[in-house]
Amino acid sequence: MFDDPPVEDLFSASGALDAIAELEKNTNAAILAQRASERLEVRTKVWVKPANASQRHQFSIEGVTADISTGGCMMLLPRPIFPGDIFWLSFMEAELGLGSIFARCLRCRFVREEIYEAGFRFLSNVNLTSAVQAHTMSPH
């Protein structure tokens, strides 16, 4: 009736050692090397919301991009978010013609009080050239 619950051996769990090895590789230099796309330094407002439409009204975090590429972006946020979660990113249309995009948070780290750096991978690549051209050609 009160038997000990089964304990799973973490080292025999499928992929556990691979996951640890992958985590050990996550240095700043390794992260920068993984960026396959050219990154543009772009400062624009962005709103981070849950990806699920039924949860999108629950919270919205306003941040600012540090850089952006066709496959993702890095931004600064006033509070942390969970890596692995999928979000709905809404870029300020007047500053960058991207609109809203689904993206997965790949990392989130503490920078200093009330500032967190978050890296996102877009679920589909964006046409950054068109977005930048739309912004530069629009009347301000």
The domain spans of the chain are 38-137
Residues in the chain: 140
pLDDT at residue 97 in the model: 74
Higher-confidence residue of 84 and 128: namely 84
Cβ-Cβ contacts under 8 Å for 107 (sequence gap 6 or more): 26, 31, 83, 117, 118, 119
Q: Quick one: what percent of the chain has pLDDT higher than 90?
A: 44
Instruction: Quickly state the pLDDT bin for 28 (edges 50, 70, 90).
Output: low
Instruction: Quickly state the pLDDT bin for 93 (edges 50, 70, 90).
Output: confident
pLDDT at 74 over 90: yes
On average, the pLDDT of the chain sits at: 79
Average pLDDT of the segment spanning 18-41: 63
Higher-confidence residue of 93 and 89: namely 89
Higher-confidence residue of 10 and 93: namely 93
The separation between CA 68 and the C-alpha centre of its own chain, rounded to angstroms, equals: 11
**Dihedral of CA 123/126/131/132: which sign?**
positive
E strand spans, the chain: 45-50, 61-68, 72-77, 86-91, 100-112, 115-122
pLDDT at residue 36 in the model: 53
Backbone angles phi and psi of 55, in degrees to 5: -110, -5
Higher-confidence residue of 66 and 135: namely 66
pLDDT at 121 over 90: yes
Question: Residues 132, 109: contact at Cβ < 8 Å?
Answer: no
Chosen CATH of 38-137 out of 1.20.1090.10, 1.10.357.10, 3.30.200.20, 2.40.10.220: 2.40.10.220
